[in-house]
Amino acid sequence: MTVRVACLGAGYFSQFHYGSWARMDGVTLVGSCDSDLGRAEATGLPAFATLEAMLDATTPDLLDIILPPPAHAQAIRTALRAGIRWIICQKPFCLDLAEARQIVTEAEAAGATLIVHENFRFQPWYRAIKSELEAGRIGDVLNATFRLRPGDGQGPDAYLDRQPYFQKMPRFLIHETAVHWVDTFRYLFGPAHAVYADLRRINPTIAGEDAGHVIFDHGPVRALFDGNRHLDHVADNLRRTMGEAQIEGTVGVLTLLGDGSVTRRSFGAADAVDVMPPDTWKGFGGDCVHALQSHVIRAMTDDTALENTARDYLDVIRVRDAIYASDHAGRKIQLEDM
């Protein structure tokens, strides 16, 4: 079976989507659409200025939506009307929880499979960490910390070279970036039950928050997201892991470094052992885009189980909203209240 894939969007991050699809066996790219036709033409694919025209001309099996949230609902509805039954949509999904719920309902009613492109859980270091936890190698997890330090948020030109719309987002650090770890923490530790957040804006150039701390209650696990886009960490590529992590259990500790390596130190030991060597992938995030897209193709062709269906991803949006509610109220928010 050959899966025909059409892509909507040809901005900065789309390069990783197109590059992944192009080297995947059993996949044929059939079209690119962007409101800036020149960007679509630059992909080398048949180019279209409107989604309707692309879907009519290419009849894809799968539509990959690589656009910011304001465009998600309309694009998905257009695809559903055209009879597309497999859709991947970029994160953060839709404008708000109400819109996301409505779109999920419409997709399910049409018999479509809708997946959110949340790729951080597919980064190889988190897959390795998950395997360590499932094998019980550090015992029962009690604490986890991720320190986001991409070092790209300083000055009036922050983000302009890559994704300039970041500057105008009224909600930034959590809505755009920390949702990666909202999802990764639930992948590693199960659902969150409560959150406490303290957020702030450091760079006056941007509209939204760019630093903050969030404590997640995952039952017996307390996970801390410590994010600051002004600060950096030790890495040859600051965007590989975007920071460092420690996961502490009752008999050992897992450490993720900025080079993508993972180590494990057992209690009482002076030295750590290697779990995963440094990452050598030159592109984005340990080739996590390719891992996610391959995961979707396997589900299409082999009927394997899917991670991050849009229905499942609604929990990430609920947690995101709880984080903002906690920061506004200055108190811990129970997820059951959202």
E strands present in 169-272: 194-200, 211-218, 221-228, 243-249, 252-256, 262-266
Residue ranges covered by each domain of the chain: 3-117, 121-284+316-337
* Contact (Cβ atoms closer than 8 angstroms) between residue 175 and residue 195: no
For the stretch 93-147, pLDDT in tens is: 999 999 999 999 999 999 999 999 999 999 999 999 999 999 999 999 999 999 9
pLDDT band at 1 (very low <50, low <70, confident <90, very high): confident
For the stretch 147-200, pLDDT in tens is: 999 999 999 999 999 889 999 999 999 999 999 999 999 999 999 999 999 999
Structure token digits, residue 99: 């819109």
Instruction: Name beta bridge partners: 196.
Output: 215
Sheet of 3-8: strand order equals: 47-48, 27-33, 3-8, 62-65, 86-90, 113-117
For residue 321, the model assigns a pLDDT of: 97
Q: How far is CA 309 from CA 28, 43, 169, 182, 300, in A?
A: 23, 28, 25, 15, 13
pLDDT band at 81 (very low <50, low <70, confident <90, very high): very high
For residue 162, the model assigns a pLDDT of: 87
The C-alpha atoms of residue 31 and residue 57 are separated, in whole angstroms, by 9
pLDDT score of 338 more than 90 = no
Burial (CB count <10 Å: 0-12, 13-18, 19+), residue 317 = buried
Domains 3-117 and 121-284+316-337 share a fold: no
Pairing of strands 47-48, 27-33: parallel
Average pLDDT, the chain: 97
CATH 3.20.20.450 fits 3-117, yes or no: no
pLDDT score of 337 more than 80 = no
For residue 125, the model assigns a pLDDT of: 98
CATH 3.30.360.10 fits 121-284+316-337, yes or no: yes
Structure token digits, residue 49: 């200025």
Q: What is the pTM of this model?
A: 0.95
For the stretch 38-51, pLDDT in tens is: 999 999 999 999 99
The C-alpha atoms of residue 264 and residue 22 are separated, in whole angstroms, by 36
Residue 229, CB half-sphere, CA atoms under 13 Å: how many? 24
The C-alpha atoms of residue 146 and residue 130 are separated, in whole angstroms, by 15
Question: What integer is the mean pLDDT of 293-309?
Answer: 96
